[in-house]
Chains A and B, each alone.
Chain A
Amino acid sequence: MRTNSMIMEVKDFSFTYAGASAPSLKRINLPIEKNKITALIGPSGCGKSTLLRSMNRIHDLYPGNTYEGEIRLYDHREEIENILNIKKENDFIRLRQAVGMIFQKPTPFPMSIYDNVAYGLKLAGIKNKGEIEGRVEKALQDAAIWEETKDRLRESAMGLSGGQQQRLCIARAVALKPDVLLFDEPTSALDPISTGAIEELIAELKKDVSVVIVTHNMQQASRLSNYTAFMYLGDLIEYGETDKIFLNPSVKLTEDYITGRFG
C-alpha cells in the first residue's frame, strides 16, 4: 500500500494509556491518503479516538502513556518523519501546526471572533498585522462563516451558536494551513442543519488538506469519506474505500457493525 499519495502512515502502532495493563491500540496499520477524507468508525471504546489523538500527540498532555511502532508524516518535501520520536517542545508545536484538530464540543477561546483565529497565527510566530488580517479573513471565508461574522469580528466568540462556534474552530485550524485536519466527532453536539453545514465544509476542505474523521454516525462516514477504517476493541479490522467497506465488506464483523447488528 506504499504510494506517494499518502500524507500520513500508521505502522505497527500500539498505544497503552498510563497505568493500563493492556494496550488500547494493537499493531495498527493505516494509510492516510493525501487530499482525501478517511473515516474511523467502530463501537465506543474501540480506540478510534485514541488513534486520532495519537496523530497529533495530544495524548502527551497527560504523562505516562506509551507508544510503540511508527506514525509517519510526509511533509511538503516528501520527507518522512516519525512523529512518535518527537521530544522537543518546538517540534511538537511544528507537528500541531501541520496536523490540526477539531473537537466534539466546540472550543472557542474566551476572546473575540477575530482573535480566536488570529491567536493561532500569533502562536505560530506571525507578527505582521496585515498578514494576520488577510489570513483571518481567508480562513473565515474558507470555513464558510465570513458572511455571518464579518460585521461582528470584535464581539466575543462565546456569543455564536454551537454550529457557528464549530465552524470558527475549523477556521482557526485552517488559518495555520495544516497538511492534515483531525476531526473527533465534530458534529455529535450539533443539530442537523449545523451538521449539514459542517459536512459540506469538510468535503470542501479536502481540496487543500487531508482529513481524518472519527464518527459514530454511519451515514456521515458513508456520505463524506473516501476511505473508511473499521476498528474494534483496539484492532483495525478492515480498511478500504468507503464504497467497498459499506457495500461489500470482506470481514463479517464489519458487516455486522455496519448493518447495525451490534455497536
Chain B
Amino acid sequence: MNRLLLNKAILTLSTLSAVVGLGFLLWILVTLGYKGVMSLHWSTFTNDLVEGGIRNLLVGQFTMALIASAIAVPIGMLAGIYLREYSNNGKMAAVMRNLSDVMMSAPSIVIGVFVFALLVDPFGGYNGWAGIVALAIMMIPIIISTTDNMLSLVPRELREAGIALGGSKHKIILQVVVKAAKVGITTGILLSFARIIGETAPLLFTSANNQFFTMDLTEQFPSLTVSIYNLATYPDEASRELAWAASFVLTAVVLLINLMGRFITRSKK
C-alpha cells in the first residue's frame, strides 16, 4: 500500500513539475510570438535602427558571429584534434581539457571585461573586432570539446586500418577520422554558432552598438542583442515594440539553427 502511494505521489509530483517547466517555456514562446508578430512590419527589416528597424542590427550580429566562427572553428578543431589524436592523453592533455571546460562555463560578462581590457581600452574605444574576439573566445572551448568528444567516438580500428593501408598519421586523421566524425562536429559547430549569436554580455562593452549601418569593424558595431537590451529599457512604446520584434527574430534564428543541427544529425545517421 505504502509503495503504491509513494509511486502515485512521485508520479504526480514529476508530472506537475514537467507541466510547470514546460508551461513557462510555452508562455515565453507564446508571448514572444504574439508580441513579436504584432510589432513586426516589413519596414522592420528594411530600416536601420535609427529609422526604427533592425536591418543594420541583423547584418552586424551575423557579421560578428560569422567572423568569430571563422576564427574559432579552425582553432577549436585543431586543438580538439591535438587533444584526441596527438596528446596521448597525458597530463598536459588533462590540464588542457580542464582549462577548456572551465572556459566553457566562464561567465560571458567576464570574457567581455577581459576583452575590454585587451582590445577596447588600449585602442581608445568600442570596436567590432573586440566583439568578434569576445565571441570567438566563447566559441573556442565549445568547439574543442565537441571535436574532442566526436573524435573519441571514432573506433580505434579505423585509425589502425588507415595506418595499415600505408597512410601517414596526419593524412588518416584529416581524411578518414575527421570525416567519420564529420556529422557530429558540424552539429557542434552549428550549436555553438547558435549559442554565440544570442549573446549580449560579451558585446555590451566591446563592440557596443551602432544605430547606423556600417561594415567598418574598427568602430562601434551594430548588434541585435545589445539593441534589445537598450530598447527594452527605453520608456517609449515604439522602442518597446521594436525590442519585441527583435527578440522574436533572434529567437527564430536560434531555433532555426538548432533545428538545422538536428536535421543534419538525423539525416546522416
Which A residues fall within an 8 A CB radius of B?
56, 58, 61-63, 89, 93-94, 96-97, 100-101, 103-105, 107, 109-111, 119-120, 123-124, 169, 172-173, 176
User: B residues within 8 A CB of A63?
Assistant: 88
Indicate if B179 sits at the interface (CB-CB under 8 A). yes
B164 within 8 A of A: yes
Q: Return the contact of B165 from the options A62, A96, A111 (Cβ within 8 A).
A: A96
Q: In the assembly, what is the distance between CA of A245 and CA of B201, in Å?
A: 75
A94 surroundings in chain B (CB, below 8 A): 166
B interface residues, tally (CB under 8 Å): 21
Q: A109-B176, A110-B176, A110-B182 are in contact. Are A173 and B165 (CB under 8 A)?
A: yes
Instruction: List, in ascending order, chain B residues with CB within 8 A of A89's CB.
Output: 168
In the complex, chain B residues 152-203 whose Cβ is within 8 Å of any chain A Cβ: 155, 157-169, 171, 175-176, 179-180, 182
Chain B residues with CB under 8 A of A100: 164-165
Cβ 8 A contact of A93, one of B159, B161, B166, B176: B166
Q: Is the interface of B mostly helix, strand, loop or mixed?
A: helix
Q: What residue in chain A is nearest B162 (Cβ atoms)?
A: A109
Residues in B with CB closer than 8 Å to A124 are 166
Q: Are B180 and A110 in contact (CB under 8 A)?
A: yes
Contacts of A169 in B (CB 8 A): 161
A259 to B92: give the CA distance in the assembly, Å: 50
Are A93 and B180 in touch, CB under 8 angstroms? no
8 A-B contacts, Cβ less than 8 Å apart? A61-B163, A97-B166, A101-B160, A101-B161, A107-B155, A107-B158, A123-B167, A172-B165
Q: How far is B169's CA from A96's CA once the two chains are assembled, in angstroms?
A: 13
Asked whether A61 lies within 8 Å of B160 as measured between CB atoms, the reply is yes
Bound complex: CA of A109 vs CA of B175, how far in Å? Answer: 9
- Tell me the B residues contacting A by CB distance below 8 Å: 88, 155, 157-169, 171, 175-176, 179-180, 182
B168 CB contacts on chain A under 8 angstroms? 89, 93
Query: How far apart are the CA atoms of A252 and B88 in the complex, in Å?
Result: 43
Which residues in A have their C-beta under 8 angstroms from that of B167? Answer: 93, 120, 123
In this complex, what residue of A is CB-closest to B160? A58
CB of A186, distance to nearest CB on chain B (Å): 12
Output the least CB separation between B168 and chain A (Å): 6
Give the contacting residue for B157; candidates A93, A103, A119, A176; CB below 8 A. A103
Check A107–B166 contact: CB distance below 8 A. no
A residues less than 8 Å from B159 (CB atoms): 61
Q: Which residues of B contact A101 (CB under 8 A)?
A: 160-161, 164
Report B95 CB to chain A, min CB distance, Å. Answer: 19
CB of B246, distance to nearest CB on chain A (Å): 41
Closest to B154 in A: A110
B179 touches A109 (CB 8 A): yes
Contact A105 B165 (CB under 8 A): no
Question: In the complex, what residue of chain B is closest to A64 when comparing beta carbons?
Answer: B88
Please report the C-alpha to C-alpha distance between residue A120 and residue B165 in the assembled complex, in whole angstroms: 6
B179 x A107 contact (CB < 8 A) = no
Contact of A107 among B161, B169, B171, B182 (CB under 8 A): B161
Q: From residue A214, how far is it (CB to closest CB) to chain B in Å?
A: 14
Contacts of B162 in A (CB 8 A): 109
Q: Which residues of A contact B166 (CB under 8 A)?
A: 93-94, 96-97, 120, 123-124, 176
- Bound-complex Cα distance A123 to B164 (A): 11
Residue in contact with A103 in the complex, picked from B88, B160, B179, CB distance below 8 Å: B160
